[in-house]
Chains A and B, each alone.
Chain A
Amino acid sequence: MSRPRALENIRVVDFSWVRAGPWATRWLGAFGAEVIKIEWPENERGRLPSTTTPQNLEVNLNTSGNFNDTNVNKKSLSLNVRSAKGLEIAKRLIAVSDIVIENFSSRVLHRWGLDYQELCKIKPDIVYVSMSGYGHTGRNHHYTSFGPVAQAASGLTYLSGLPGKPPAGWGWSYMDDTGGVYGAMCALTGLYHRNMTGEGQHIDLSQMVASVPLNGPALLDFTVNGRGSRRPGYPPGNRAHWPGTPLVNNYRGPTVTPHNAYRTHPGEYNDWCVIVCHSNDEWQRLVEVMGAPSWAASPKFATVAGRLRHQQELDEQIEAWSMTLGKYELTERCQAAGIRALPVQSAEDRVEHDPQLRHREMYLEMEHLALGRRKVQNTPFKLSKTPASNHLPSPLIGQHTQEIVEGLLGYSHEDLRAGFTDGTLWPVKRARFPYMEEMLR
């Protein structure tokens, strides 16, 4: 007997595209909600352009690897919402759903005639989560963002890098990932509130604004102490403090050293290990693991103040040792001795070499109709009574159109066929996939 799911009987109308919105609904699907992704191939963004299609497959709407990982646990309805008939179908779907979620720029649903007031007329207790770049409120609501722009404008980019160099920033759309997670958090919060009070609401999430509180300690250092982040030695790379600059806290936790990334054997691109000592005890244990070298016995390294003063020399000495070990061997030796150390892990490392992620079944295979058996990123939590899991591969575009239009909404088979010939359910001039011909029989 299968276990109950946390969001059993919850239906989500998912207008989202690209990454942040789909990353939100992926999690609602993992909790067991029925997520219906509304797509239109003429202005689809998420499946194409694809840089993650396997080398042996044609790039098309159904072969993006990243789309597959981002859109598991969903069904796909191909629907032209910009047509009167398409809008009517969307409204009938909303009438039997619990959550509407989208990440368009701020006025798109309004233009469609689907703003919150209209949604309420269709479904009075609807939970509506909008995930636009700058939100629906505020003078810059019409600004657009992708992760890197939200990260730049919010201060997140600036906090990452080496002092005196350009910002290194985040090497991906952290705020598409995290903005997406906020989308799911908001939807669940709104749903809980609805279950307790009977009231729905509009939750106006902004990707850019959601980034700002993630700089909390730096912001309070400014609003309380008047100290800005534009200062010598900041940001301090991987260190808690940059040598030769004023000694202030840099929002990385305790101001200590060693606190850095060190090269490991054999010195290739991702052969690095980070080591952090939070106390004198941890430092002394590291000295022992390193074989108690004579340099480490110098009184200048005996105290945290001394180590911070001589950090550059300390880091060079530690790296001379770390270069003699592979990053996993170094990690095991340090952790066995009670020292904080972990390897820098590439994607390959995480999928193939990380024993913890393997034990926790972080990457389980699923069969996808176009991509075959592929590992998919699992959930980072285990719920004892309602386990969350990936239970559907990402949908082919329009794969569930018949199931939803006929099965859920009660349209006739003739209506379905008409929708394919009048451009409501698939563009008239676009070639149909074989599974569409199948559903039109």
Chain B
Amino acid sequence: MSDAQSLPGPLAGLRMLELSNETGQFCGKLFGDLGADVVKIEPPGGEPSRHIGPFLDDIPHPERSLSFWHYNTSKRGITLNLETADGRELLMRLAATADVVLETFRPGFLASLGLDYEALCTQNPRLIMCALTPFGQTGPWRDYLSSDLLHMAAGGEMASSGYDEADVPNAPPIAPGGGNAWHTGCHFAYMATMAALVHRSVAGQGQYIDASIHEACALTTEAAIANYIYRGEVVRRQTGRHHAAGPTPHTQFRAKDGNYVCALVAGRLTPKYIGELADLLDTNGMAGDLRDPKYQDPVVIAANTSHIIDDLVANFIASLPAEEVYHTAQQRGFTWGAVRAPEALLDDPHLHDRGFWKEVEHPELGCSFVYPGEAAIYNGSPWRISRRAPLIGEHNVEILCGELGLSRGELSVLGENRVI
């Protein structure tokens, strides 16, 4: 792994221009962390997503948004006002040097500025443009407003997530944690853009991609759609476990320390499994009647499912801290997990073994902070965070002067005229 760390990332040599708000910035981060040169183009004064908290020391400031920090690693940043002729001209020049343009403007906005794909690819037919929008470029909802929560509703995530009536009477459908509509849209935008890049590496031509966050969310609910299409069933919400057409046994139990454990037991109860379960529960002397020979009979097991799960397994978990249950069970081959708050992950030795946590330098603050790292280890071309999120216009000189050849005088004129 240490050898691979010195190699270029798998997307080294690619340049992406990112014209993105909070909906698409994670896609740019994925490209950047995987080695592409991602140039984030923000309006003068910075992207509005810089105003999303939490903030460093809770002091709101466009350079202190932790949300912005996380989603904009491994990018360089410039400012450009596309509503000026000078800004448009500079974008055209940059697009001539780019492999990919990622944009999240409302449908028709770039076209209204004369900056649609047709215009940009005239000078650069190898250019790939991915437009990632809430609903896509066409259709009756195309101009609808959205938010992360709205996508979780319309995409079906909320209809699948919530509580058993016994746990929370009259509970609303619950939206899973914030940001996942954007993640889901960005994953598919990344996928489509990479497919276009693979095609370009063979055929030499770019293309335009119209990606929809709503569609991405609508197909991210596992078997909910299949349950309806093949059986006409609409699933119900259940606490901490799968949606289902009818009630299913519990899988989430409170441990001694008040944390929960996800223990997948139902559906696995064979005589062999009962023996292994008895051994596990016996590690804390809590096998109960599980060693009774009657459990060699699958019919008896089936008749006692609730006793096994809601009494024996639940009591075993209640007798130990969640982390201990998790590791003891996994070491014995049980597919169980502790329900952890994110901060608990900082202490997970497995993640440390994988070199997951990254120290990211913030030279302007004279310190570094720990960031989450990569989903996958590439043994021939590493996925890594190359730098913290750009400050507003941090690379204006480097890119506009150094690469496009503007003079420092021209740059200050652009500043005076609010082009950058």
For residue B372, which residues in chain A have a CB less than 8 angstroms away from its CB? 212-213, 215-216, 219
Q: Are A347 and B145 in contact (CB under 8 A)?
A: no
What chain B residues lie within 8 Å of A66 (beta carbons)? 222-223, 226-227, 230
Known: A272-B158, A388-B195. A356 touches B335 (CB 8 A): no
B234/A348 in contact, CB under 8 A: yes
Q: For A176, list chain B residues within 8 Å (CB).
A: 222
What's the count of A-B pairs with C-beta under 8 Å? 542
Q: Which A196-224 residues have C-beta < 8 A from chain B?
A: 196, 199-206, 209-210, 212-224
B231 touches A149 (CB 8 A): no
Partner of A217, one of B66, B370, B376: B66
Query: Do residues B222 and A19 form an inter-chain contact, with CB atoms below 8 A?
Result: yes
Say which residue of A185, A224, A263 sits within 8 Å of B191 (CB atoms).
Answer: A185
List residues of chain B with CB within 8 A of the CB of A427: none
Least distance between A72 CB and chain B CB atoms (Å): 12
Q: Are B174 and A138 in contact (CB under 8 A)?
A: no
Chain B nearest CB: distance from A138 CB in Å? 4
* A137-B354, A172-B224, A192-B11 known; A384+B156 contact, CB < 8 A: no
Partner of A238, one of B22, B175, B187, B344: B175
Cβ 8 A contact of B163, one of A4, A168, A212, A218:
A168
Of A88-96, A139-147, A297-305, the one touching chain B:
A139-147
Report, nearest first, the 3 A-B pairs whose CB atoms are least far apart. A65-B230, A201-B380, A159-B177
**Contact with B376, one of A158, A203, A350, A384 (Cβ below 8 angstroms):** A203
Closest-CB distance, A37 to chain B (whole angstroms): 18
Query: Is B58 engaged at the interface, CB distance under 8 Å to the other chain?
Result: yes
**Is B363's beta carbon under 8 Å from chain A?**
no
In contact, B230 and A276 (Cβ under 8 angstroms)? no
Given contacts A166-B240, A225-B56, contact A218 B342 (CB under 8 A): yes
A209's contact among B11, B51, B171, B351, by CB below 8 Å, is which? B351
Q: Considering the chains assembled together, what is the distance between the CA atoms of A73 and B220 in angstroms?
A: 18
Contacts A169-B240, A259-B149, A347-B228 known; A6 to B380 CB distance under 8 Å? no
Write out, one digit per residue, whether chain B residues 84-105 have a CB within 8 A of any chain A CB (1) or not (0): 0000000000000000000000
Within 8 A of A (CB), among B172-206: 172-180, 183-185, 187-192, 194-199, 201-203, 205
Q: How many residues of B contact A (CB 8 A)?
A: 155
B residues 233-272 in Cβ contact with A at 8 Å: 234-243, 245, 251-252, 254, 260-262, 264, 267
Query: Within the complex, which residue of A151, A255, A377 is in contact with B219, where a contact is CB–CB below 8 Å?
Result: A377
Q: What are 28 A-B pairs at a CB distance below 8 A? A: A6-B196, A19-B222, A139-B350, A143-B330, A145-B337, A162-B163, A165-B168, A169-B240, A171-B242, A177-B220, A203-B377, A209-B354, A217-B179, A220-B54, A221-B66, A222-B342, A224-B56, A229-B341, A253-B52, A259-B149, A272-B172, A335-B145, A340-B147, A342-B153, A348-B234, A351-B225, A363-B225, A385-B196
Tell me which of B209-217, B313-321, B393-401 binds A. B209-217
Q: B353 near A: Cβ within 8 Å?
A: yes
| A375 sits at the interface (CB 8 A) | yes
Q: Which of A47-55, A79-87, A399-407, A432-440 forms part of the interface with chain B?
A: A47-55
Chain A residues with CB below 8 A from B409, complex form: none
Interface-lining segment among B74-82, B135-143, B279-287, B298-306: B135-143
